[in-house]
């Protein structure tokens, strides 16, 4: 008996699409189709970074995955003798899924390319080697901007080769200083082009695992180090991945979702409060409502940090004359009863309300709700090499230092707490810090 799509939908809602079976079986088949599609997509490497495959290749593999999963779906329906399900419904379902997935991948790739152009989500790389292969790889990466790679320099295999290469101005170090350079330049990935001995490659591989940095080699170098590793292309340049540093992608995705929703709710619910504070600041003293401070964010990116203005408009010019009153060590500057602070500003600082406009930075993705304190450039210059670890993640409005050692004047103390937060990070830790932040704000311990 032939039935139309509308009749099939009505029967599905009523649970009578199968004469002798419940509609639960149909839902189970659809769930199985979804699972199979995910497995096949993974098999076709559709969940690899988009930068490692071309647009047309990705679309072709996506259609193949849908077609293969569709064949398995029709085979399953045949074995179940589900003759009442119109084949037209099956074809329409496959068509919709194929078009939707292709469109989703297209839109995601366009969004990714735009972010790369703005310097967001790019990957910093160092190329080990100074020969023709290294130069060709660097040129290839520079010519294909949508790969999202940012070249940070060459690493000479030895000091003698560094002095002989015509690209010596781009050579930033040797193998001995490789992992110092990865930290100084916030490197995500190392590309080995050689020539190197297998022992040297093995040593770099072990250290890359220790530091959590991705490592790739050109095919002629691996010499059995990863005999079962797949060949991956950077544009048209073949490479073999030896190590992928662990990145908690799902947890970071959930953190970003939380940041976006939380900051959006704050902006929506507290917009009247923002207006009242803005009016109070304008009536209390001359100058703008907001204070913009250049801060150092993830991977050393400079961004403008929003705050309510709590000082007189010429506070920076008066700071030099007050340097002898500084109560903090290192580059930190804090003076009790600072005369530059306005009356409204003192109240805002007491309850940490001057930080609230940073929800705009959270919305734009420059900051997170919870994270290390966003440093200024002069602070970063004082950092020890190991302390640059705190720039591996987005800075936050609140963090471990704010709730645990806010009154501690030690520069090393707050940097160490930032690093400790990163090394022990979890979503649960973020929630605990947020809860403790509420207590700190209500206590009015700010200065």
Q: How far apart are the first and last CA of the chain?
A: 79
pLDDT tens profile 118-131: 888 889 999 998 88
pLDDT at position 18, please?
A: 47
Q: Is the pLDDT of residue 225 over 70?
A: no
DSSP string for residues in 229-269: PPPEEETTEEEEEEE-----HHHHHHHHHHHHHHHHHHHHH
Question: Residue 178 to residues 151, 167, 335, 346, 380: CA-CA distances in angstroms?
Answer: 15, 17, 41, 47, 21
Domains of the chain plus CATH, in order, are 5-117 (no CATH), 123-246 (3.40.50.720), 250-443 (no CATH)
Q: Is 5 left (phi over 0), alpha (psi -120 to 50) or beta?
A: alpha
Q: 143: which 2 tokens?
A: 């010519």
Pair 226, 215: CB distance under 8 Å: no
State the chain's mean pLDDT as an integer.
81
Question: Residue 421 to residues 196, 295, 300, 433: CA-CA distances in angstroms?
Answer: 37, 19, 18, 10
pTM of the model: 0.71
pLDDT tens profile 269-293: 999 999 999 999 999 888 899 988 8
pLDDT tens profile 24-51: 666 777 888 889 999 998 888 788 776 6
pLDDT at position 158, please?
A: 72
Q: Is the pLDDT of residue 362 over 60?
A: yes
DSSP string for residues in 53-71: S-HHHHHHHHHHHHHHHHH
Q: 110: which 2 tokens?
A: 């366009």
Picking from 138-147, 170-179, 399-408, which range would have the lowest pLDDT averaged per residue?
A: 399-408
**Bridge partners of residue 123, in order along the sequence:** 149
Q: Which residues are CB-neighbours of 438 under 8 A, at least 6 positions away? A: none
Residue carrying the six token digits 């023709």: 132
Q: In the structure, what pLDDT confidence band is assigned to residue 16 with cuts at 50, 70 and 90?
A: very low
């Amino acid at each position: 008996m032939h039935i139309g799509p509308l009749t099939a939908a009505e029967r599905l809602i009523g649970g009578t699409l199968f004469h002798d079976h419940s509609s639960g079986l149909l839902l189970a088949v659809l769930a199985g189709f979804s699972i199979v599609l995910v497995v096949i997509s993974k098999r076709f490497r559709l969940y690899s970074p988009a930068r490692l495959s071309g647009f047309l290749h990705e679309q072709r593999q996506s259609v193949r995955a849908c077609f293969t999963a569709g064949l398995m779906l029709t085979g399953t329906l045949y074995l179940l003798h589900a003759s009442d399900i119109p084949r037209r419904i099956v074809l329409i379902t496959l068509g919709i899924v194929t078009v939707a997935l292709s469109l989703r991948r297209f839109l995601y790739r366009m969004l990714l390319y735009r972010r790369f152009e703005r310097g967001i989500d790019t990957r910093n790389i160092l190329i080990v080697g100074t020969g023709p292969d290294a130069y060709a790889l660097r040129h290839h990466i520079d010519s294909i901007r949508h790969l999202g790679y940012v070249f940070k320099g060459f690493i000479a295999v030895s000091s003698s080769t560094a002095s002989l290469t015509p690209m010596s101005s781009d050579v930033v170090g040797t193998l001995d200083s490789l992992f110092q350079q990865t930290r100084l330049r916030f490197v995500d990935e190392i590309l080995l082009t050689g020539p190197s001995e297998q022992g040297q490659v093995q040593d770099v591989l072990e250290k890359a695992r220790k530091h959590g940095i991705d490592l790739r080699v050109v095919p002629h170098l691996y010499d059995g180090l990863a005999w079962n590793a797949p060949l991956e292309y950077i544009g048209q340049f073949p490479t073999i991945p030896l190590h992928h540093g662990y990145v908690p992608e799902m947890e970071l995705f959930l953190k970003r979702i939380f940041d976006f929703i939380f900051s959006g709710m704050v902006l929506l619910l507290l917009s009247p409060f923002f207006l009242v504070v803005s009016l109070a600041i304008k009536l209390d003293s001359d100058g703008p409502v907001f204070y913009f401070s250049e801060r150092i964010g993830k991977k050393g990116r400079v961004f403008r940090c929003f705050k309510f203005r709590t000082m007189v408009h010429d506070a920076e010019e008066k700071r030099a004359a007050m340097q002898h009153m500084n109560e903090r060590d290192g580059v930190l500057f804090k003076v009790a009863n600072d005369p530059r602070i306005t009356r409204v500003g003192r109240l805002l600082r007491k309850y940490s309300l001057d930080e609230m406009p940073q929800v705009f930075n959270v919305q734009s993705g420059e900051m997170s709700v919870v994270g290390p304190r966003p440093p200024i450039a002069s602070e970063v210059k004082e950092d020890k090499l190991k302390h640059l670890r705190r720039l591996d993640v987005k800075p936050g409005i609140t963090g471990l230092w704010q709730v645990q050692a806010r009154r501690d004047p030690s520069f090393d103390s707050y940097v160490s707490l930032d690093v400790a937060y990163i090394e022990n990070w979890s979503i649960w830790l973020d929630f605990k810090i947020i809860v403790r932040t509420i207590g700190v704000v209500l206590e009015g311990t700010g200065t």
